Structure 1
Amino acid sequence: MDSLTLANELKRFFKENRLIIALTTLLTIAAVVGLAFFASRSSIPEPGKDDDEQVGVPAIFQFYVQTEDGNSFGNSAVVEEFFLQSEVVAEIEAKTGVSITPALEEQRLEGFVKTQTDRGVLGVMRDGSSHVFTANATLGTKEENLAVMEAYFDYLNSGEIPVLTDKDVYILKEPTNMQFLMNDNEEFELSEETNPTFNAKRAILAGVVGLFGGVIAGILLALIYQLFRKVITYAFSFGWDETDIYQRLSKDDTRAVQQTVLHPFAETKVIVTQFPEAVKLSETDTHEKVNLVSEKQPLQLGAMNILTVSDLAELDPLLPVDECIIYVESGKTEKRWYEKQRMQLKNYDARVKVIQFV
């Protein structure tokens, strides 16, 4: 199949199957976005559950640090390093009764890698745009996490953190559980980077994934449908030999059909079609003149004889055939019929043309 034929058939394929592809794409987008939404919702503990069910609800507090010259202080790592010093951790454990060291050790053994927006079970993160520091704890139940944050909050207010003694510290949010912070719209709302809920960025990402996945799924669905159809629809759904002459024509273009059938000259030509009653070589041809399945007489055009049959098995074995022309009507000609004619063509040493009507 030449590239032009393939391009034309693919264009027709997408045009005729655009509804299947579009519906599949829309359903896939809806499914992916819906799954992403429910997955994000399921990861957030619901308010009102028992404490045993609230394990993992983090607690935080937020503050802003300014240097003496009025600039923002952005080194959250040194503040976190102080919070994680063994003597500081031991003091917080003694004050709250919460085991912090085992959780930190377990995190270390697991090879956890901290990021700007995920500092693990205990840490301090900084918002890149506002330079707001957020201390967080995810050590146990929501009460344990809150108790740890309150102890560190007291430490911050005591002025005993060496790196902050010569700086101004402004409290933006006192210790609270994150789930309550997410429901509090009066003073502060978490940014998209730290908000674990479903947001616009995740919706767009899910939509893009659904779009590409849906288009691919729609194309595959349409191809599978064509693969299992009993009739031939596109040029890539049936085969022909490299030596065959292939033409893709419109059945309404009578002149083009005439030229393709009549040229080049051959003494005896056979048109093989599953629908011989529809064969018409010119506007003046009559139904009786060209329906040769019943008459068994060839149409004579000068020195050329053209015979129309629905099955090559109908031909007289002694009849010399110079050219076989197979008509393939898109959406009508059956694959099984075409394959049968291709098998019988092996018995003839004749030129073969395949005309597909679209």
Structure 2
Amino acid sequence: MDQFFEEIKRFFKKYIKQILIASVLLTTVFSTLYLFKSEATPEDDEYSGALTDPDLYDGNAYFKFYVEDENQEAFTNTVLLNQYLRLEENLTEVSENTNTNLLEAYEEQKINLELNPTDTIPVIEVRRDNKSQLMTLYVRLENIKDNKKIANYLFDELLNNKISVLENKDVYLFLEPNVFEKTIEKATTKDLFSSLNIRKTIMIVSILLVLSIVLMISIFLGKEFFSKKLNFSFSYFTDESTEFNLYSDRIENNYEISKFLSAPGFTEKLLVTQNILPKLEEISKNTTINKSKNKLVIDTTKFYIYKELENTEELSQVSEIIIVVEAGKTDRNWFNTQKRVASLYNKPIKVLQINR
């Protein structure tokens, strides 16, 4: 367990600054997107039946109402209402009774409305707020007085239950016809921040920060699993038959490592290391190294040191093969190759990682 925590601490010591910087940047980007998305509730397509207020312009007339069906549930079929309002006979009736050009205006935009419904603002339509279920009828002719006339006429039609598609339904009128006298401007950044739910915003930003940190940790872990050098014990694999140990000054496990290497005593073993063996003379007081002959003795155990496994006389008489990994210096390809070759000799295999 000490070895695992040692590797985790080394990992965060190496990457903590990069993780935090990248996480803060990601959180900033996603938080900004969230804030600007909160500026206005997105509108759904008209044919989904769940619509919110569109942009309102100077001279638009409107009123709000609510409809319940026979089951006392909200009536939500705005598609049906719009189709009814835009029938030629109904547009003709409204135009004649209000002395306006509603029919003519609708006929002029009918083709565009059919081809590009999302890009065309109808001269008359009903929309529904997908939260409150309130419906809003809009009239958008160029003549403001005509807009008010039409809105008042349809308001009275609803009030007197003269809309045939709403028969057997309860209609509640919430807001009498009004005319917008000026363009409703979109909220500024200052207005946006002042209207935000601070607690909710803090919670969302905190969640985004945590998710960003988790994402960056995953990315850097993935980087270690595919790096050319072996940096951490969790970034490479050993099978169940392979014994593993880790040597580090911070753990102070010299005694354990010396026994891991030498036990059982009075034997000969093979040490395979890609680089010059570091710190091995510090592992045990009873360590001697013969650099000229590539030999090492710990207690009563003799080691032959090789950079790669070869068919030699010593290999036939050793009791174990020990592969040494020096963190940050040993190549992944070299390690995988030596491990595969070592498995061919039917001898116990150990892996020792040395952290500088």
- Match runs of 1:138-287 below 5 Å: 144=142, 149-156=147-154, 161-163=159-161, 171=175, 174-176=178-180, 179-180=183-184, 214-215=212-213, 217-227=215-225, 229-251=227-249, 252-265=252-265, 267-273=267-273, 274-280=275-281, 282-285=283-286
User: Structure 1 residues 37 and 312, CA, compared in 2 at 3 Å: closer, same or farther?
Assistant: same
- State the superposition RMSD in angstroms: 5.5
User: Structure 1 residues 33 and 135, CA, compared in 2 at 3 Å: closer, same or farther?
Assistant: farther
- Paired position in structure 2 for 1:27: 25
- Paired position in structure 2 for 1:318: 313
Deviations 1:251-295 (A, max 9, x none): 431122122112344610233332414113645246xx23x3335
- Paired position in structure 1 for 2:339: 342
CA distance in 2 between partners of 1:147 and 1:270 (Å): 99
- Paired position in structure 2 for 1:52: none
- Match runs of 1:121-132 below 5 Å: 122-125=125-128
Corresponding residue SS for 1:327 = strand
Which piece of structure 1 moves more, 4-13 or 324-333?
4-13
Corresponding residue SS for 2:350 = strand
The Cα of 1:12 is off from its aligned counterpart by 5.2
User: Structure 1 residues 163 and 12, CA, compared in 2 at 3 Å: closer, same or farther?
Assistant: farther
Contact 1:232-1:328 within 8 A present in 2 as well: yes
Contact 1:298-1:305 within 8 A present in 2 as well: yes
Contact 1:93-1:100 within 8 A present in 2 as well: no
The Cα of 1:232 is off from its aligned counterpart by 0.7
- Determine whether 1:356 maps to 2:321: no
Contact 1:104-1:121 within 8 A present in 2 as well: no
CA distance in 2 between partners of 1:208 and 1:74 (Å): 37
User: Structure 1 residues 182 and 151, CA, compared in 2 at 3 Å: closer, same or farther?
Assistant: farther
Contact 1:155-1:161 within 8 A present in 2 as well: no
Corresponding residue SS for 2:244 = strand
Deviations 1:76-131 (A, max 9, x none): 8799577556544334556144533686798789999xxxxxx99710536865x8
Q: Which runs of 5+ in 1 are unaligned?
A: 45-55, 66-72, 113-118, 193-197
CA distance in 2 between partners of 1:275 and 1:232 (Å): 16
- Paired position in structure 2 for 1:115: none
The Cα of 1:174 is off from its aligned counterpart by 1.7
The Cα of 1:236 is off from its aligned counterpart by 4.1
- Paired position in structure 1 for 2:324: 327
CA distance in 2 between partners of 1:11 and 1:340 (Å): 26
Contact 2:124-2:137 within 8 A present in 1 as well: no
- Paired position in structure 2 for 1:99: 105
Contact 1:231-1:332 within 8 A present in 2 as well: yes
The Cα of 1:146 is off from its aligned counterpart by 6.5
Corresponding residue SS for 1:333 = coil
CA distance in 2 between partners of 1:346 and 1:246 (Å): 15
User: Structure 1 residues 76 and 231, CA, compared in 2 at 3 Å: closer, same or farther?
Assistant: closer
User: Structure 1 residues 276 and 11, CA, compared in 2 at 3 Å: closer, same or farther?
Assistant: closer
CA distance in 1 between partners of 2:281 and 2:137 (Å): 85
Contact 2:224-2:235 within 8 A present in 1 as well: yes
Corresponding residue SS for 1:100 = helix
CA distance in 1 between partners of 2:351 and 2:241 (Å): 11
CA distance in 2 between partners of 1:127 and 1:241 (Å): 58
TM-score, structure 2 as length reference: 0.61
The Cα of 1:305 is off from its aligned counterpart by 2.0
Contact 1:57-1:177 within 8 A present in 2 as well: no
Corresponding residue SS for 2:91 = helix
User: Structure 1 residues 76 and 346, CA, compared in 2 at 3 Å: closer, same or farther?
Assistant: closer
CA distance in 2 between partners of 1:6 and 1:155 (Å): 81
The Cα of 1:354 is off from its aligned counterpart by 0.7
Contact 1:62-1:134 within 8 A present in 2 as well: yes
Which amino acid in structure 2 is aligned with residue 61 of structure 1? Y
Q: Identity of paired residues, percent?
A: 16
CA distance in 2 between partners of 1:103 and 1:220 (Å): 54
CA distance in 2 between partners of 1:157 and 1:40 (Å): 33
CA distance in 1 between partners of 2:107 and 2:215 (Å): 50
Which amino acid in structure 1 is aligned with residue 20 of structure 2? A
Aligned length: 312
- Paired position in structure 2 for 1:51: none
User: Structure 1 residues 325 and 14, CA, compared in 2 at 3 Å: closer, same or farther?
Assistant: closer
Which amino acid in structure 1 is aligned with residue 179 of structure 2? P
